[in-house]
């Protein structure tokens, strides 16, 4: 069987290579620009879409495995299992020196071998880096369902094969810093932190995605009986086949002009969170917006455009994150009228200042204010272009870290930039509320509720530790603050 698969891969690679050569030679066939920055960009479909693998044996096997997984999940959906807290305790014990690490010792039987990309026994073993990259894709795929289940299982097993503090983990942090940081974020969101049971009701508590996916979350939601793996009118396999068919059309423009496939396997109607990696902090959680006239439940679907800066949102920006943002907006369902948007944290952390901050002797207040002005102007235009109500997520303060490693001065200046950013954002958003012709842009102003007093900080506060995931990103414990901000921001709740 492996020989057949290897031969099939070789044939596909030869065919793909021939197609790419042909496409590059035919430069006049396409006038598109995917934003990749390559000199040949736009010369071929291959800038945009995966190769036509729907005839591949491997592709067929993967679809069959997803079909088997769907059937098994319907049986497993309401069975009791280990909570995220139980798994964290088990992982802690398993990664101690006195306890051997046994990979795949407890792999659930309902995960087909061909889908266990985190396992060394997978039909196509992946390097640690590729495992992390595939985890990122699985977790952030905006259809949830079996992809989300596989991502959670991957975190469980990668916690054993690549402990965060292990030799391999430290090496990955050195050689692939951003990918490893992304993995740590997903790990913290899926499994959370170990919190004693009696403290979960008296402090803000992050509900791990593991517990939500495995129906262990005891919170009461509307339509709670509809599990994330419920049977829908269109199976995941049919969804994937349809998506690949669309993406394999002769030109990418045909996909952009066609309606995207509908979202599958959500317990409630979706609200999309688009933007930088901070959208993952609230992804797959459920919002409950309860006011005098509304009682709304929305499941947050993350649609990350990794690395997006507020500065990139400007019209005409020639950078791939801008193109990714446009693609995310263009592919929203026609019924979508509101989105949440996150940007600005990267600007404050590393994008504003440049040479001005060398040796930390100069401020960059004007640069901060100018960036906010351009950001709001750009989002207003996007709001009008796509007929969307845009709900802006503020930049959260960074968590407190030890001042012993010599970086305290830089962190202090970043916190000052963040404070000025948020003050400028509040002013501009308040100014445009009375202007109906400039787009529907509203600030979800919950940032003050995230603060914890800290005299060592130049702004006298840091992020409340209960909201901290990885010292840069938050966990989902702040959702009650976000729900309150939605009600108070003067947006049209009927458009959610």
- pLDDT, one tens digit per residue, over 302-325 is 999 988 999 999 988 888 889 889
High-pLDDT (> 70) share of the chain, %: 70
78 vs 111, higher pLDDT: 111
Q: Does residue 249 have a pLDDT over 70?
A: no
Q: What is the pLDDT of residue 142?
A: 81
Average pLDDT over residues 229-252: 62
Q: Which of 285-299, 364-378, 402-416 has the lowest mean pLDDT?
A: 402-416
If one compares 23 and 343, the residue with the highest pLDDT of the two is 343
Strands 270-275 and 295-304: parallel
pLDDT reading at 446 higher than 90: yes
Kindly report which listed range (157-161, 176-180, 257-261) carries the lowest average pLDDT score: 257-261
| Residue 230 to residue 164: CA distance in whole angstroms | 34
Between 267 and 486, the more confident residue is 486
Q: Which domains does the chain have, with CATH numbers?
A: 2-47 (no CATH), 80-211 (no CATH), 268-495 (3.40.50.1110)
Asked if 453 contacts 464 with a C-beta cutoff of 8 angstroms, the reply is no
What are the pLDDT digits (tens) for 31-45? 444 444 445 554 444
Longest dimension (CA), the chain: 67
How confident is the model over 390-414, as pLDDT tens digits?
999 999 988 887 766 556 666 777 8
pLDDT for position 409: 65
- Give dist(CA 384, CA 393) in Å, integer: 19
Q: Which of the 8 DSSP states describes residue 278?
A: G
Pairing of strands 461-463, 451-453: antiparallel
pTM: 0.81
CA distance 416 to 342: 19
Residue 58 pLDDT level (bands cut at 50, 70, 90): confident
* Segment among 57-71, 109-123, 193-207 with least mean pLDDT: 193-207
> Which range has the worst mean pLDDT, 78-82, 235-239, 445-449, 484-488?
78-82
**Average per-residue pLDDT in the chain?**
77
| pLDDT at position 12 | 42
pLDDT for position 91: 82
Residue 284: how many other CB atoms lie within 10 Å: 25
Give the residue among 112, 118, 109, 110 at the shortest CA–CA distance from 65: 112
Kindly indicate the confidence band of residue 261, based on its pLDDT and cuts at 50, 70 and 90.
Answer: very low
- Spatial distance between the Cα atoms of 71 and 81, rounded to a whole number of angstroms: 18
Residue pair 277/185 in contact (Cβ under 8 Å)? The answer is: yes
The string of DSSP codes covering 13-70 is HHHHHHHHHHHHH-GGG-----S---TTTTSSGGGTS----TT-HHHHHHHHHHHHHH
- If you average pLDDT over residues 249-267, what whole number do you get? 50
SS3 4: helix
For residue 337, pLDDT beyond 80: yes
Residue 165's pLDDT is 81
Read off the pLDDT band of 204 (50, 70, 90). Answer: confident
Q: How confident is the model at residue 160 (pLDDT cuts 50, 70, 90)?
A: confident
Q: What's the confidence (pLDDT) of residue 36?
A: 46
Determine the Cα–Cα distance for residues 412 and 354; give it in Å rounded to an integer: 16
The residues pairing with 288 across neighbouring beta strands, listed in sequence order, are 297
- pLDDT at 379 exceeding the cut of 50: yes
% of the chain surpassing 90 pLDDT: 29
Residue-wise pLDDT tens digits, 110-125:
888 888 888 877 877 8
Angle at 340 between CA 133 and CA 253, to 5 degrees: 65
Conformational region of residue 35, where left means phi above 0, alpha means psi within -120 to 50, and beta covers everything else: left
| pLDDT tops 90 at residue 5 | no
């Amino acid at each position: 069987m492996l020989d057949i698969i290897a031969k099939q891969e070789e044939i596909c690679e030869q065919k793909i290579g021939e197609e790419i050569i042909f496409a590059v030679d035919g430069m006049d066939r396409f006038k598109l620009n995917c934003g990749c920055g390559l000199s040949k960009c736009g010369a071929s479909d291959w800038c945009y879409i995966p190769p036509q693998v729907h005839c591949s044996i491997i592709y067929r096997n993967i679809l069959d495995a997803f079909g088997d997984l769907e059937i098994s999940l319907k049986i497993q959906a309401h069975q009791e299992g280990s909570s995220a807290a139980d798994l964290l305790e088990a992982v802690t014990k398993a990664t101690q020196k006195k306890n051997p690490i046994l990979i795949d010792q407890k792999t659930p039987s309902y995960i087909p071998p061909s889908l266990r990309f985190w396992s060394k026994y997978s039909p196509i073993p992946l390097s640690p880096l590729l495992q992390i990259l595939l985890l990122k894709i699985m977790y952030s795929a905006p259809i949830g369902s079996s992809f989300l289940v596989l991502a959670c299982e991957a975190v469980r097993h990668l916690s054993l094969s690549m402990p965060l503090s292990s030799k391999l983990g430290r090496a990955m942090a050195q050689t692939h810093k951003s990918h490893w940081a992304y993995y740590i974020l997903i790990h913290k969101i899926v499994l959370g932190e170990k919190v004693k049971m009696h403290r979960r009701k008296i402090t803000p508590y992050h509900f791990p995605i593991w517990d939500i996916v495995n129906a262990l979350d005891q919170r009461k939601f509307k339509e709670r009986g509809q599990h994330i793996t419920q049977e829908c009118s269109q199976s995941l396999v049919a969804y994937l086949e349809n998506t690949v068919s669309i993406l394999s059309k002769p030109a990418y423009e045909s996909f952009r002009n066609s309606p995207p496939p509908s979202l599958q396997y959500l317990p409630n109607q979706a609200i999309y969170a688009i933007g930088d990696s901070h959208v993952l902090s609230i992804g797959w959680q459920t919002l409950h917006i309860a006011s005098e006239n509304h009682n709304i439940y929305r499941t947050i679907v993350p649609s990350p455009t990794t690395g997006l800066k507020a500065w990139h949102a400007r019209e005409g920006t020639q950078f791939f994150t801008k193109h990714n943002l446009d693609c995310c907006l263009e592919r929203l369902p026609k019924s979508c009228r509101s989105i949440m948007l996150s940007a600005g944290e990267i600007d404050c952390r590393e994008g504003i200042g440049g040479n001005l901050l060398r040796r930390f002797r100069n401020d960059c207040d004007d640069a901060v204010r100018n960036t906010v002005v351009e950001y709001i102007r750009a989002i207003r235009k996007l709001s009008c272009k796509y007929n969307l109500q845009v709900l802006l997520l503020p930049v959260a303060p960074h968590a407190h870290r030890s001042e012993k490693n010599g970086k305290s001065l830089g962190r202090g200046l970043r916190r000052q930039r963040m404070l000025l950013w948020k003050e400028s954002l509040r002013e501009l958003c308040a100014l445009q509320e009375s202007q109906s012709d400039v787009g529907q842009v509203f600030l979800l102003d919950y940032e003050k509720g995230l603060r914890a007093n800290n005299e060592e900080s130049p702004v006298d506060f840091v992020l409340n530790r209960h909201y901290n995931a990885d010292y840069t990103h938050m966990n989902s414990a702040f959702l009650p603050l976000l729900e309150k901000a939605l009600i108070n921001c003067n947006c049209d709740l009927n458009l959610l």
